[in-house]
Amino acid sequence: MTDDNGVLRWGVIGTGGIAHSFVEALGATPAGRITAVGSRTPERAEEFGKDWDIPECHGSYEDLAQSPNVDAVYVATPHPWHHPNTLTCLRAGKHVLVEKPMAMNALQVSQMVEAARGSDRFLMEAMWTRYLPASRLVRDLVQDGAIGEVHWVSAEFGINAPYDPDHRLFNADLGGGAQLDLGVYPLALASHYLGELTVVGATRQLSPDRMVDTHTTVLVRGENGGTGSLACSSRTTMPNRAVLAGTKGWLEIPYFWMATDVVLHRDGHEPEKFHRPFRANGYEYEAEEVARRVAAGERESPDMPWAESLRLARLTDQIRDMGGLVYTPATVKAVPLA
Ligand SMILES: NC(=O)c1ccc[n+]([C@@H]2O[C@H](COP(=O)([O-])OP(=O)(O)OC[C@H]3O[C@@H](n4cnc5c(N)ncnc54)[C@H](OP(=O)(O)O)[C@@H]3O)[C@@H](O)[C@H]2O)c1
């Protein structure tokens, strides 16, 4: 399923901020090209199509999913629609790259995985961080033993977004909350370097209307005894770095979810700095991974397999429950917390 030149043909669902970034990245890789966009309204589809010179503009997501000129769909809608949009595309025979978090809860993720298995199509949560050159460098350094055995992970992702109860970051009906949107990155990093995680504790601050978390701090323990402290915030700018500390030194990764720089601190040595810039905006690497796996006939990526998305969703469910939060599916109106 590619064009005559073996290039993966992409359709995009949703025309918001990240959809623009992804289509921009597709322009920087020979592995894929954009052929179609789907929006809830024909006008927005046309507008987006004009911006990026896209041949097919569909006024519904269902129409895009039926296009014979699309091999893979990038689902770029707010979190509560990841599940229904992904199922629509998989059932129409498309491969799917779906934005993070993969869904609102682990049950939805398991249904998406089953749908991919049933339709024999590729499915991946768009954890783009894992495919960045700087992230690959970190993985190589750790595997080569540069910092010894990893015993501690610290990571935070905090931005000071203006409070707007109608914005998807703060609106429960749009999948709001810091943990779902931002906290997935620290959690994925800890899961990668500490192995199977247990959530030891979680606490949070709520939005003024008490509908979503605006700040969550999580304590985790890894399968080999390593521990992690993770935090995210939609109302506070944080140092926004990750630290992996091991028996022989530590790695520092500023802005780790979109990493370009890494500092290696080997015990007893001067720090070593590495710079690994993006070729475009960073999303080209995940697009290339999808193309690679689809071309090889594979259905998941070893760096972000279905089991990992399921693990992260289960952990997120636990953090939600410890925080007393409720993540409502798209069809249910959210209610304030007691
Ligand atoms: N990987 C990353 O770095 C990154 C960065 C930002 C966001 N994200 C993820 O990408 C997803 C979308 O985020 P975004 O920032 O692009 O959001 P956004 O700017 O609000 O855009 C979301 C798009 O989804 C569509 N949509 C469908 N149902 C909607 C609804 N009920 N309300 C509003 N929009 C709806 C809209 O497109 P139409 O009206 O055209 O249908 C809208 O333009 C989120 O899950 C987020 O976590 C990832």
Question: What does the alpha-carbon distance between residue 204 and residue 218 come to, in Å, rounded to a whole number?
Answer: 9
How much is the pLDDT for 331? 46
Distance, CA of 261 to CA of 125 (rounded, Å): 24
Q: Which two tokens stand for residue 19?
A: 């959809």
The predicted structure's pLDDT at residue 287? 98
* Ramachandran area for residue 300 (φ above 0: left; ψ -120 to 50: alpha; else beta): beta
| Residue identifier of the C-alpha nearest atom 37 of ligand 1 | 14
Task: Output the six-digit token pair for 2.
Answer: 């590619």
Q: Residue whose CA is closest, atom 43 of ligand 1?
A: 16
Which residue(s) pair with 215 in the sheet? 205, 233
Largest CA distance in the chain: 61
For ligand 1, is residue 85 a contact (CB within 6 Å)?
A: no
Tell me if 11 CB under 6 Å of ligand 1: no
130 ligand 1 Cβ < 6 A: no
- The closest residue, in CA terms, to atom 3 on ligand 1 is 18
Structure tokens at 192: 């990668």
**pLDDT reading at 203 higher than 80:** yes
Looking at ligand 1, which atom is closest to the CA of residue 181? 47
Render pLDDT for 294-318 as a digit per residue (tens, 0 to 9).
999 999 999 999 999 999 999 999 9
Cis bond before residue 101 (omega within 30° of 0): yes
Supply the pLDDT for residue 25. Answer: 98
Decide if 226 contacts 152 (C-beta within 8 A). Answer: yes
pLDDT given at position 273: 98
Query: 226 in ligand 1 pocket by Cβ < 6 Å?
Result: no
Position in ligand 1 atom list of the atom nearest CA 126: 1
- Alpha-carbon span 323 to 211, nearest angstrom: 12
Instruction: Give residue 41 CA to ligand 1 midpoint distance, Å.
Output: 14
Q: What is the dihedral of CA 312, 318, 321, 326, to 10 degrees?
A: 20
Q: How far is the CA of 179 from the centre of ligand 1 (A)?
A: 16
Which pLDDT does position 36 carry in this prediction?
98
Whole-number pLDDT of residue 247: 98
Residue numbers annotated as active site: 100
pLDDT digits (tens, 9 = 90+) for 216-270: 999 999 999 999 999 999 999 999 999 999 999 999 999 999 999 999 999 999 9
For the CA of 128, the closest atom of ligand 1 is: 1
Checking if the pLDDT of 329 tops 70, the result is no
d(CA 319, CA 169): 17
> Torsions phi, psi of 225, nearest 5?
100, -10
Mutate which of 61, 77, 184, 309 for ligand 1 pocket (most atoms within 8 A of beta carbon): 77
State if residue 76 touches ligand 1 by the CB under 6 angstroms criterion.
yes
Q: At what angle do helices 82-91 and 106-119 cross, to 10 degrees?
A: 10
Q: Is 309 in the pocket of ligand 1 (CB under 6 A)?
A: no
Query: Does the beta carbon of 39 sit less than 6 angstroms from any atom of ligand 1?
Result: yes
User: Could you tell me the two tokens for 151?
Assistant: 């015993």
**Does the Cβ of 12 fall within 6 Å of ligand 1?**
no
Q: Residue 77: CB within 6 Å of ligand 1?
A: yes
The predicted-structure confidence for 109-157, as pLDDT tens digits, reads as follows: 999 999 999 999 999 999 999 999 999 999 999 999 999 999 999 999 9
Q: What is the pLDDT of residue 337?
A: 52
Q: Which of 4-8, 78-82, 162-166, 234-238 has the lowest mean pLDDT?
A: 4-8
pLDDT of residue 338: 42
pLDDT band (50, 70, 90) for residue 14: very high
| pLDDT beyond 90 at 336 | no
Atom 7 of ligand 1: nearest residue by CA position: 18
At residue 322, the pLDDT reads 84
**Atom 9, ligand 1: which residue's CA is nearest?**
99
Determine the distance separating the centroid of ligand 1 and the alpha carbon of 77, expressed in angstroms: 4
Domains of the chain: 8-127 (3.40.50.720), 133-277+311-322 (3.30.360.10)
